[in-house]
Chain A
Amino acid sequence: MPSIQLFAPRNNSQPVAWCHSGPVSPNEFLHAVGQMAERLPERRFIFNLCADRYHFLVTFCAAMLRRQTNLLPPNHAERTLAQLHAAHPDAYAVSDQPMNVAGLEMLPYPALASNGVAHGEIPAIAAEHIAAIAFTSGSTGQPMPHPKSWGSLATEAALTASRLELQAGLHFLGTVPPQHMYGLGSTLMLPLHNGGVIHAGQPLFPADIRLALEALPAPRVLVTTPLHLRICLEQQLEFPPLALILSAAAPLSLELAQQAEAAFDAPLMEIYGSTETGTIATRRTSHGENWESLAGVHFSHGENGLTRVEGGHIQTHVELQDVIEATTDNSHFRLAGRAADMLNIAGKRASLGDLNLQLNIIPGVRDGVFFAPDEEPGKAVRLSALVVAPELSEQQIIAALRQAIDPAFLPRPLYKVDELPRNATGKLPREALRELLAGLNTKHPS
């Protein structure tokens, strides 16, 4: 059976990672992974909750050496972890932050001895080993598992690197968590398999992003989102020049892409993908709206009208929630909106219908509806809600929703109204909701 090494062989003077203390050589990294592997208990599943990207990586590789599977929860909320633990009762957790989940064995990330003794071969992992399970959080909060084999992660990294024409020796800084598929693929697998260097941090604020970039040698790659880019540009800081910017997780406008390319003096490549599939396609946003799928990845029509994607690194066929419009050949396409009533907020997905159901089953709610405003690139969408519930306060309704849905979908604002603008057939026209909300927003200036 084929197996694939933990990382592409490289000279020991070329680091694998870049921590607060400086570069980490391949030998130091292998030494850390070996020590960590010896400390892990004998189990099948491990929650890899490390916030530091290097700690996450060492834990990820050590778990694979022990034939364990890394669970990547969509968030670290206690309720989410408890749900996933119930589905994987054998699991324990490794974390580098103080954390406590009832009944879940928590192993603090240990202090590992650091020395650069020469190691032999880079260990190889069976291609079909399930390296990780990523989860999507539905609106009802019941996470859905998406297993990833080590082989498919490595193939995705190879296909993406060849599309982006990556050179060895790039230094990758990510503003997205390693537990997210985009973060795992673009901040860890891409550098690991293509001679790149992984920055251990995950800066949030523009000033932090600048400091982290300045600490890294060139050539540098920033792996980020439209929201981080917009805030960085609005702060008007001077950033060190980059070799490449990667953006994903939300729509990016042409204008923002052009501004980012100018501010960071680098091409911006946008990545289209999902938790189920990993990376599907890329585009240089400033050069046109068409996407080019990765080599071997292709589309077909499913029976239910949804587009199916398969091939390349994608192990089974997956149905997409986006409408794909193929252009002249089968490798270029444009995105023509989202299928059905799917929402994507802060990388989390929910269906409007499902959210409305959760709202209307709250005792005391007579009628209610969520409203999703039109998307503005670079801005996080927040939902509004209109509710008929004479006996409940806004706070009581929010508190009940908090029990049932992911916080990213909580309405801001939520208005109580006497009735919803239902038409003769009982439907709620979008225009009527928009007008009603506009009136309420002026009455209650936020």
Chain B
Amino acid sequence: MTDSKSPLELEVAALIVQALNLEITPQEIDPAEPLYHEGLGLDSIDMLELSLAISKAYGFQLKSDAPDNASIFSSLQSLTRHIEKSRVK
């Protein structure tokens, strides 16, 4: 992996790996790759578990009917941007 991650991206990657019990290291998540279906291959059950971990860590509730929902999970980068914008802790 050549891309370097921001500290928050690395933190969110670690959260994903830990919450979903993935068999990869946080460093191995490509920040530009889709999280859902292709790429990491996560399903809606994973999204639900991830939403819980995110609300515990960052204090806000994910909503899937937000207009930018599809883009939130389009990559680690976009999820991190969304967390940066919405976090209350």
Contact = CB atoms under 8 A, between A and B. Distances in A.
Interface string A403-431: 00001101111100000000000000000
Contacts of A398: 23
Contacts of B65: 201, 203, 208, 211
Contacts of A380: 45, 49
A211 B48 contact: no
Given A231-B52, A414-B23, A205 B17 contact: no
A231 B51 contact: yes
Contacts of A407: 41, 43
Identify the interface centre among B22, B41, B64: most chain A CB within 10 Å of its CB. Answer: B64
Given A231-B52, A408-B43, A446 B61 contact: no
Given A205-B61, A205-B63, A402 B41 contact: yes
A204 B48 contact: yes
A100 interface: no
Interface in B30-47: 37, 41, 43-45, 47
A206 B43 contact: no
Nearest to A228: B48
Contacts of B43: 346, 407-408
Contacts of B55: 235
A205 B17 CA distance: 20
Contact of B62 (A77, A205, A346, A414): A205
A262 interface: no
Interface residues of A, number: 29
A228 B47 CA distance: 11
B74 interface: no
Range of interface residues on B (Cβ < 8 Å): 20 to 34
A231 B63 contact: no
B18 interface: yes
A205 B61 CA distance: 8
Interface string B61-77: 11111000000000000
A235 B23 contact: no
B23 A412 contact: yes
B63 A412 contact: no
B63 A446 contact: no
A234 B52 contact: yes
B10 interface: no
A382 interface: yes
A398 B23 CA distance: 10
A154 to B, nearest CB: 30
A325 interface: no
Interface string A152-172: 000000000000000000000
A53 B52 CA distance: 26
A231 B56 CA distance: 12
Nearest to A410: B41
29 contacts: A203-B65, A204-B47, A204-B51, A204-B64, A205-B47, A205-B48, A205-B51, A205-B62, A205-B63, A205-B64, A228-B48, A231-B51, A231-B52, A234-B52, A235-B52, A235-B55, A235-B61, A346-B43, A394-B23, A402-B41, A407-B41, A408-B43, A410-B41, A411-B23, A412-B22, A414-B23, A446-B18, A446-B21, A446-B23
Given A228-B48, A382-B21, A446-B22, 9 more contacts: A203-B64, A204-B44, A205-B47, A205-B51, A231-B51, A231-B52, A346-B43, A411-B23, A446-B18
